[in-house]
Amino acid sequence: MPLHPDRLFPADPATRAVARRLYEHVQGLPIVSPHGHTDPRWYAEDEAFSDPARLFVVPDHYIFRMLYSQGVPLEDLGIRRRDGSPVETDGRTIWRRFAEHYYLFRGTPTRLWLDHAFATLFGLDQRLAPETADLFYDTIAEALARPEYRPRALFDRFNIEVIATTESPLDDLHWHRMIRESGWPGRVITAYRPDPVVDPEFEGFRDNVARFGEITGEDTSTWSGYLAAHRARRAYFKSFGATSTDHGHPTARTADLPQPAAEALFQRVTRGHPSAEDTELFRAQMLTEMARMSLEDGLVLQIHPGSLRNHNRSLFETFGRDMGADIPTATDYVRALKPLLDRFGNERDLTVILFTLNETTYSRELAPLAGHYPCLRLGPAWWFYDSPEGMRRFRELTTETAGFYNTVGFNDDTRAFPSIPARHDVARRVDCAYLAELVTTHRLDEDEAHEVAYDLAYRLAKEAYRL
């Protein structure tokens, strides 16, 4: 169906009118996407996307996790198995299966993003359903064959100013080098995600640490050599534009051990059979070490705690990571972050951005912390709460204590390229709706609301991520 121009705006006419004026002010701003999971290979090779299914369905766990929850096998959606066993390869068949189950997305943010992409990118203003599946597939496939639908052209069309991908420290950044050498002016940067060599529970951890040493020429069998390898690799990532690091730990726990204790802990996790406490303590120590390095090299530290990753063991063993089975857990920030904050919390030259999957911490923990410590900023509603309701709750529960300026505006956490402008549009509409209510209830003047809307949509993310 056609996109309604007032979607996500307040029902009250006076408030809606203010929201419209605010939105007109920010609708066309460039997109700053400092925390993404798109594939740098897309921009490096600039080849046409192969078909609609591989553009929308196969790379996006927001989509296939929902279908899987209703009994659709991932093999039927073209998701590759680790053992190389056959899976569905026909794009039209995958797409028809997706269309048959499109009703599952009613009321979800995914539906908003998809409908936005279908309408604005491909002119499809009907509803995706079994009877329209082939129309959608043929229209999108025909468009994807044209030059203006290649990744770099879409990058420009989406008005993306900068986008960050996320790479392991073991990645050679080949695709980023290829982008640089091509001369294309689009700004695609990397971000340092060291989980494979920081988390002792990460598959192949010990081999990863050994490989880390080979890549950097450092002796990663020692604590000092291991830390030197991180510093070397961070510098390498910075040379390809990185302005941030990203850490997906199960908890927000930090530690600040004396050097001998840290050295002994490192030996236990890399050589022996570490206990669960050793494993957690090592991750905790490494967050503090990363903060120390960020003070040295200026990289922004992002912490994404509170997810029990790969919860579905069978899916993990069959298909690998990121199959939509990362489940939120209760997360403590006040006590968990105290060792790091005792050491670095008052540093004005350090930026630590906190995210959460636990909404109950917004007003009780996160907003008071960010409203006090100079180094802390709050990331926007993330992942499960990357939705109109989640975004609204984030503003309601954090603004009264942390204000707007201890947050980083909005950044998307997308894997599917076409959803990037849709996600930013949703965030801008929700923020404008929230600000409009502050105006009509006489808590904010409209000229101030215009300034805040601009900051939330554009300026805060640029400044927080040093872009």
Residue 96 placed within a domain:
yes
Distances (CA, A) of 187 to 7, 81, 152: 31, 33, 10
pLDDT value at 131 more than 70: yes
Position 383 scores a pLDDT of 62
pLDDT value at 382 more than 70: no
Position 381 scores a pLDDT of 65
Average pLDDT over residues 140-164: 97
Same domain? For 321 and 224 the reply is yes
pLDDT value at 96 more than 90: yes
pLDDT value at 226 more than 90: yes
- The band of 136, judged by pLDDT with boundaries at 50, 70 and 90, is very high
Position 445 scores a pLDDT of 98
Distance separating alpha carbons of residues 180 and 316, to the nearest angstrom: 34
- φ, ψ at 465 (rounded to 5°): -95, 5
Distance separating alpha carbons of residues 14 and 30, to the nearest angstrom: 28
Same domain? For 196 and 60 the reply is no
Residue 430 placed within a domain:
yes
Position 309 scores a pLDDT of 87
pLDDT value at 173 more than 80: yes
Tens of pLDDT, residues 9-58: 999 999 999 999 999 999 999 999 998 788 999 999 999 999 999 999 99
Same domain? For 216 and 237 the reply is yes
Same domain? For 80 and 192 the reply is no
pLDDT value at 287 more than 90: yes
User: 73-77, long-range: CB within 8 Å, 24+ apart, which pairs?
Assistant: 74/315, 74/319, 74/323, 77/53
Last residue of a domain, one of 148, 168, 201: 148
* Number of compact structural domains in the chain: 2
Contact (Cβ atoms closer than 8 angstroms) between residue 19 and residue 13: no
Last residue of a domain, one of 148, 164, 179: 148
Amino acid at 438: L
CATH number of the domain bearing residue 234: 3.20.20.140
Residue 3 placed within a domain:
no
Residue 8 placed within a domain:
no
Same domain? For 190 and 214 the reply is yes
Q: Say how many CA atoms lie within 13 Å of 279 toward its Cβ.
A: 15
Same domain? For 134 and 256 the reply is no
pLDDT value at 410 more than 80: yes
Residue 2 placed within a domain:
no
Same domain? For 41 and 93 the reply is no
Distance separating alpha carbons of residues 158 and 422, to the nearest angstrom: 10
Rounded to 5°, the CA angle 214-218-222 comes to 110
CATH number of the domain bearing residue 62: 1.10.2020.10
Residue 4 placed within a domain:
no
Same domain? For 327 and 384 the reply is yes
Residue 429 placed within a domain:
yes
Contact (Cβ atoms closer than 8 angstroms) between residue 35 and residue 242: no
User: What integer best gives the mean pLDDT of the chain?
Assistant: 95
Beta bridge mates, 32:
162
Same domain? For 80 and 188 the reply is no
Position 324 scores a pLDDT of 83
- Give Cα 42 distance to the centre of its chain: 18
Q: Are strands 300-303 and 160-164 parallel, antiparallel or unpaired?
A: unpaired
Average pLDDT over residues 319-340: 92
The more confidently predicted of residues 381 and 364 is 364
Amino acid at 448: E
Distances (CA, A) of 91 to 41, 290, 418: 21, 43, 17
Q: Which tokens belong to 313?
A: 């063991």
Q: Which tokens belong to 330?
A: 């209760």
| CB contact burial 49-86 (16+ within 10 A = b; e otherwise) | bebbbbbbbbbbbbbbbbbbeeebebeebbbeeeeeee
Same domain? For 187 and 268 the reply is yes
Same domain? For 31 and 114 the reply is no
Q: Which tokens belong to 94?
A: 């995958």
- The band of 384, judged by pLDDT with boundaries at 50, 70 and 90, is low
- The band of 413, judged by pLDDT with boundaries at 50, 70 and 90, is confident
Close Cβ partners of 441 (under 8 Å, ≥ 6 residues apart): none
**Nearest Cα residue to 436 out of 4, 14, 8, 7:** 14
Contact (Cβ atoms closer than 8 angstroms) between residue 27 and residue 6: no
Residue 5 placed within a domain:
no
Same domain? For 57 and 177 the reply is no
Last residue of a domain, one of 98, 127, 148: 148
Q: Which tokens belong to 43?
A: 């921009």
Contact (Cβ atoms closer than 8 angstroms) between residue 438 and residue 404: no
Domain span at residue 120 reads: 49-148
Average pLDDT over residues 347-371: 96
